[in-house]
């Protein structure tokens, strides 16, 4: 199961002195794609937190293949690696307007109880969305 964002344009504030998109922004692009995907499935991150479901990122990795520059357009493809259990594992590919791979990466999010801060199983309603 995967999702592809619409076109996103690199803003000037996302670039560094070398005129590349600063490396820290790629995790933000991953998050943007992940939240957009959840929203498109009718899942509200804010409502999940109100229901006592926390989903912090516990691991992330990136590999840069080519830079993005101010004004470039790109899309993020996000894919759920496995059906969720106590964690959600996502893989990402960022491609530019020329369909060149810019960055690949992954994140792992854990389901945590807000009271104990201990892992918990994926909520049934979310598991059904990904099934």
DSSP secondary structure code for residue 70 in this structure: T
In this structure, the chain runs to a length of 131
16 a catalytic residue: yes
Token readout for 78 is 């996000």
Maximum Cα–Cα distance across the chain: 47
Choose, from 2, 16, 49, 100, the residue flagged as catalytic: 16
Query: Under a CB-based contact definition with an 8 Å cutoff, are residues 8 and 25 in contact?
Result: no
Distance CA 35, CA 13 (A): 21
Catalytic residues: 16
């Amino acid at each position: 199961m995967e999702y592809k964002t619409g076109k996103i344009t690199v803003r000037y504030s996302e670039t560094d002195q070398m005129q590349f998109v600063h490396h820290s922004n790629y995790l933000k692009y991953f998050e943007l794609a992940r939240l957009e995907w959840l929203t498109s499935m009718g899942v509200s991150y804010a409502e999940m937190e109100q229901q006592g479901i926390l989903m912090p990122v516990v691991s992330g990795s990136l590999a840069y293949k080519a830079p993005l520059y101010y004004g470039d357009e790109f899309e993020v493809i996000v894919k759920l690696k496995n059906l969720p259990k106590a964690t959600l594992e996502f893989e990402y590919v960022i491609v530019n307007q020329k369909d060149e791979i810019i960055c690949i990466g992954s994140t792992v999010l854990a389901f945590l109880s807000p009271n104990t801060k201990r892992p918990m199983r994926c909520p049934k309603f979310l598991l059904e969305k990904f099934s």
